Amino acid sequence: MNKIYNPKREDWKSILKRPTKSVADIESTVNTVFDELQKDGDATIKKYTEKFDGVSVADLLVTDDEIVEANSLVAIELKEAILLAKENIDKFHAAQKTESIEVETSPGVHCWQVKRPIEKVGLYIPGGTAPLFSTILMLAVPANIAGCSEIIMCTPPNKEGKIHPAILYTANLCGVTKIFKVGGIQAIAAMTFGTESIPQVYKIFGPGNQYVTVAKQIATKYGVAIDMPAGPSELLVVADDTANAEFVASDLLSQAEHGVDSQVILVTTSKAMLESVEKEVELQIEDLPRKDIAQKAIDNSKLIYLEDDQTAQELINEYGPEHYIVCVEDEGSYLSAISNAGSVFIGNYTPESAGDYASGTNHTLPTNGYAKQYSGVNLDSFMKSMTFQKISKEGIQEIGYAIELMAEAEGLQAHKNAVTLRLNSLDDE
């Protein structure tokens, strides 16, 4: 791993750079697929599924028979684990429900806010090097709690043209409306425009590789909302001598195995901890089935030593990690200082894996520094707020003159007239 000691502040930007391609490198490929799919629909999906996934798919829609078969193939122990995770995720997201608010801002002026579900949502579930059925829990569970009426899911097929049984089992368990065998750019384009088989949606959720991330960003140009620009996974751990080096190394590797473009960073005020973690990473990586993937990610990762806590806290906020593990003696100081992070994990016994699967928090989080301005997926991600107002005769008299003055000052006479006519009608009574 790359070891860096007391980096100068002016070097932080280059040190903390993510190992991702720029949008410009990928955008032309994405635009080509989008343009073709707008014209040729399902034919384009099948063309690029064969090109990118190496499989020819006759029917894009997963059938009921396939779901029944998948249900029989998932081990009972795994089903029980998925059910436990679903229960915790349900509890945490159901607790995020809020009541409507109503305020009388002036006498006779009543304003209130109500939340309504987004009717049609699309879920993208990666399935390339790992079948991420856990992401279905993170997206479909809050979508159902919110009351979304149509929940469409796209996930890439394997070389046999099938979907992993655990993905189908979980999707069916969580109330997904329709499941389609399509991944990558073509999946995002299909949910953006709609095709003969796949419905158009209003908002697209879910992580993916860099091509999926760019495709989601381009989808916004066509009037479709997205959860966030969620790309390759990343983790930053801050640890001092009170941390367990073995645990820290396991957390770093848990993110490194996601993909070759993942990034993991250790920030520490202890040189001894830095050296111990490096040794543990070297030991533990040898036993990983996904060693080759993890090793490439580790090659892009950093071990950073800083002399004091305040500088460490400032560097962490500058990075804005997707996942942030805090294993230090003075954890309160680090927790109060953090402004930019997707999800925070505290103490030696809180692995990032817990948030990925079963603690209850959501694992669909902002990456690539977007934690500075985006939240992770939550219940409100699947809802929109609508405001209402009702003004009585007393109310329009209370605020009408102010409206007239402001409208006139902006040069909007029709706005003023809409109030003046009402006020005059009351004067005539």
Catalytic (active-site) positions: 322-323
Q: Is 362 annotated as a binding residue?
A: no
The 3-state secondary structure of 351-420 reads: CHHHHHHCCCCCCCCCCCCHHHCCCCCCHHHHEEEEEEEEECHHHHHHHHHHHHHHHHHCCCHHHHHHHH
Q: Is 258 annotated as a binding residue?
A: yes
Residues in the chain: 429
Report DSSP state, residue 101: E
Q: Is 186 annotated as a binding residue?
A: yes
Q: Amino acid identity of 389?
A: Q
What span, in angstroms and rounded, lies between the C-alpha atoms of 412 and 405?
A: 10
Instruction: Compute the chain's Rg from CA coordinates.
Output: 25
Q: Amino acid identity of 310?
A: Q
What span, in angstroms and rounded, lies between the C-alpha atoms of 254 and 274?
A: 18
What span, in angstroms and rounded, lies between the C-alpha atoms of 369 and 342?
A: 9
Q: Is 209 annotated as a binding residue?
A: yes
Q: Is 313 annotated as a binding residue?
A: no
Q: Is 415 annotated as a binding residue?
A: yes
Q: Amino acid identity of 161?
A: G
Q: Is 397 annotated as a binding residue?
A: no
Half-sphere exposure at residue 418, Cβ-oriented, CA atoms within 13 angstroms: 8
Q: Is 368 annotated as a binding residue?
A: no
Known binding-site positions: 124, 186, 209, 233, 255, 258, 323, 356, 410, 415
Annotated binding-site ranges for Zn(2+): 255, 258, 356, 415
Annotated binding site for NAD(+): 124, 186, 209
